[in-house]
Amino acid sequence: MRIVDLSMTISEDMRVYPGDPRTIVYTWASRSLHGYYANLIVMGEHAGTHVDAPAHFVEDGETVDLVPVEKFMGKGVVVDVSWVDDEVSGEIIHRELGKLSTRIGVGWFVFFYTGYSSERMNRDYPVLSVDAAQMLASRGVNGVGIDAPSIDHEPYRVHRLLLGRGVVIYENLVNLDELLGCAGFMFVGFPLKISGGSASPVRAIAVVEEC
Ligand SMILES: [Zn+2]
């Protein structure tokens, strides 16, 4: 059994989405001064590796504390889209899953490896097309995820569609390349139980039994 850590380290120089608040890590107490060490952390809900709850875009959508906790774990697969320039279509997903002989279904997670978190950094990354989002939602997946700052761009039709269908969205994942070619690993990415939260930072992992 192998565990792959899919989360960024939380720090002040962590990249944030344009317009989002920067992360602050402030030493609240130090061993030399107070006898113990503790920090104060100020960060946006969408900083670093995080999961979006329906309320992020959907009027009366569930906030992160109200989404059932079992929604944040399930079987996962990574689709390699590092060769895609702009949009990932439903057809591409279908073909890539076919290569892995994988049938996704209710409760699954589909992750997209763009390479942004490693070699593609500071370049454009591909996003999901609306038809791809429709296909994934109709399969009943629990969630989708990407190793880039967002699953789509303005006007955020994919965010609206997925969150409107109760599909949660993981962004800024890392190390998805370590899962390429694997399907059916166990994914776990629990959010903090933030009252009224639109999202939450997560410690996401994959538990790989074989492959
Ligand atoms: Zn987000």
Domain boundaries, the chain: 2-8+46-208
Distance (angstroms) between ligand 1 centre and the Cα of 209 equals 29
Single pTM value for the model: 0.96
The Cα 70–Cα 106 span in angstroms is 12
| CA within 13 Å, CB half, 186 | 8
Structure-block tokens of residue 83 = 């060769």
Task: With CA atoms as reference, report the closest residue to 169 among 126, 85, 84, 110.
Answer: 110
| CA within 13 Å, CB half, 158 | 25
Distance (angstroms) between ligand 1 centre and the Cα of 35 equals 37
Distance (angstroms) between ligand 1 centre and the Cα of 5 equals 19
Distance (angstroms) between ligand 1 centre and the Cα of 157 equals 14
Residue 71's SS3 state is helix
Residues noted as catalytic? 56
Number of neighbouring beta carbons within 10 Å of residue 131: 16
Provide the residue-wise pLDDT of the chain in tens; the chain has 211 residues. Answer: 999 999 999 999 998 888 999 999 999 999 999 999 999 999 999 999 999 999 999 999 999 999 999 999 999 999 999 999 899 999 999 999 999 999 999 999 999 999 997 776 667 899 999 999 999 999 999 999 999 999 999 999 999 999 999 999 999 999 999 999 999 999 999 999 999 999 999 999 999 998 7
Distance (angstroms) between ligand 1 centre and the Cα of 205 equals 18
The CATH number of the domain covering residues in 2-8+46-208:
3.50.30.50
Distance (angstroms) between ligand 1 centre and the Cα of 199 equals 6
The Cα 146–Cα 155 span in angstroms is 18
Element (H, E) at 98: helix 90-99
Structure-block tokens of residue 23 = 């992360």
Task: With CA atoms as reference, report the closest residue to 192 among 25, 5, 44, 4.
Answer: 44
